Chain A
Amino acid sequence: MKKVILNLLLISFLANGFSQEVDLFKADSAKTNEPPTPVIATFKSTRIVHGHSIEMQAPGVLDFRVHHRFGELSQGLYDFFGLDNASTLIAFDYGLAKNLNIGVSRSTFLKQMEAFAKWRILQQNTSNSTPITATILAGVTNRTLDLFAANGAKLTSSDKTQYYTQLMLAKKFNDNFSLQISPTVVHYNLVKNTTDANTLFSIGFGARHKLSKRVSLNAEYYLQTNTLSSPTPNQPYINSLAIGVDIETGGHVFQLHLTNARGMTAPTYIHENNFAWDKGQIHFGFNISRVFVVKKPKEFR
């Protein structure tokens, strides 16, 4: 009798082990962890206001940009609050690879040409194993405007060239709020005064807060740690502060802003701004971005 009971126990045990019914649904509900995915849309655009954000164009996407900065609001009605004086930058950015963008631009202010490369080193992910996004921007600007030294000698192209490098560190804290800190180095091949440093340092601060799915509020501030001497001594170069709104429609992003700085390249908006908010030297400006798919993703080729 004992043996029979033992056998029965054994059978029921083994049978249970072998004949375990497959239940896909049960197995699935037991699995809860989501794989980490890269965080997207930290900012709406590749620019916060003047400066770059960590956002990049996807591979094969061409971004055509037009930036405008008008004159000072304090110019009054005669100059239609600055709207009579506009400077323009036209830029083309292109996504070469997932983590690499290149771009060129032309600005009417000082007839500047610019070229840059932007490389993403880290991308924040949802599991926070990578808590921030880090991107490096390196660029060169050249003033093609004829410029002359104090003794009347014409400056060479090399004299009118500047280089800049920026490390951008950004974090999207939640769906609505993102912050970026951007330590920046700008190098001038030639500066006006012998007492001026050729290499200048600054830290950029950028933030955006989404007001709705398609509208966000942006702010950008560049803190200079050393400055150039201003050509007009009563108007020293000061830090730039900009506040703006990003509005996104189907294929466009419109960025409207108020800023004291009028330059649109890193050297000019960071280190060559002598307009002050408290003197009413505020400029209205906008950036328009329109993207074109030049090369479709491999899934659609």
Chain B
Amino acid sequence: MKRIWLALIAVVLTSASFAQTKVYQTKTGKVKFYSSTKAEDIEAVNNQTDVKFATNGQLLFNLLVRGFVFPNALMQEHFNENYMESTKFPKAKFMGTIDNLALINFSKNGKYAVTTSGTLEIHGVKQDVKAIAGVVEVVDGKLKLSSKFKIKIKDYGIKGNYIGEKIANEIELTIDCILN
């Protein structure tokens, strides 16, 4: 009997070190995109991005393409109907891992420049992305993620008039999220 109790205690003690992977998350992450050409600048924002960050280094972004809001409602309709085909491909997703996880001390406030690699899926097309630069900030037990990077429209099979004219070939994405 004594041995069972000993074993139980041992299990509880060891499991404490096993179960340390914590998941920070939010459902209101902000993803902005910005296209700049001589003809016009286009911006849109999605404030309902589902973001999860596990302290094992896994990073997951899920958003609905329909959630992007444009200053111009007609442009928003064209974005969904003519370019992103959001009824066929409703979601965009990023699955990745932090390349230099060891830098981050989650138990103390601080700011860390990190890079992330993984798979970005837009318009039903998956592309491997490498070493996207970003910043992870630990603030009172919360995580602030931010990043700015560019993607090429044609890498994701998005077609339509005006690409390369009114719509830039490269779109700048800005990530800004606070995870609890």
Contact = CB atoms under 8 A, between A and B. Distances in A.
Given A25-B95, A214-B82, A57 B73 contact: yes
Contacts of A37: 64, 66, 90
B87 interface: yes
A30 interface: no
B19 A19 contact: yes
Interface string B28-58: 0000000000000001010100001010101
Contacts of B103: none
B69 interface: yes
Contacts of A22: 21, 23, 54, 56, 58
A213 B69 contact: no
Taking residues whose C-beta sits less than 8 angstroms from the other chain, chain B's interface range is: 35 or more
Contacts of A18: 11-12, 15, 18-19
Contacts, number: 106
A40 B161 contact: no
A297 B69 CA distance: 8
Contact of B77 (A3, A10, A41, A126): A41
Contacts of A214: 82, 161
A189 interface: no
Contacts of A291: 72-74
B60 A14 contact: no
A296 interface: yes
A14 B91 CA distance: 38
Given A61-B72, A61-B74, A293-B72, 14 more contacts: A11-B11, A14-B11, A22-B54, A23-B58, A34-B90, A37-B90, A41-B77, A175-B88, A248-B78, A250-B166, A251-B74, A291-B72, A297-B73, A299-B47
30 contacts: A6-B4, A11-B7, A15-B15, A18-B15, A19-B14, A19-B19, A22-B56, A23-B58, A24-B54, A25-B58, A28-B62, A34-B64, A34-B91, A37-B66, A40-B80, A57-B73, A58-B73, A95-B73, A126-B87, A126-B90, A175-B88, A213-B81, A250-B162, A291-B72, A291-B74, A293-B72, A297-B73, A299-B45, A299-B47, A300-B69
Interface of B: 3-4, 7-8, 10-12, 14-15, 18-19, 21, 23, 43, 45, 47, 52, 54, 56, 58-60, 62, 64, 66, 69-74, 76-78, 80-82, 87-88, 90-91, 93, 95, 160-162, 166
Interface of A: 3-4, 6-7, 10-11, 14-15, 18-25, 28, 34-35, 37, 40-41, 57-58, 61, 95, 126, 175, 213-214, 248, 250-251, 291, 293, 296-297, 299-300
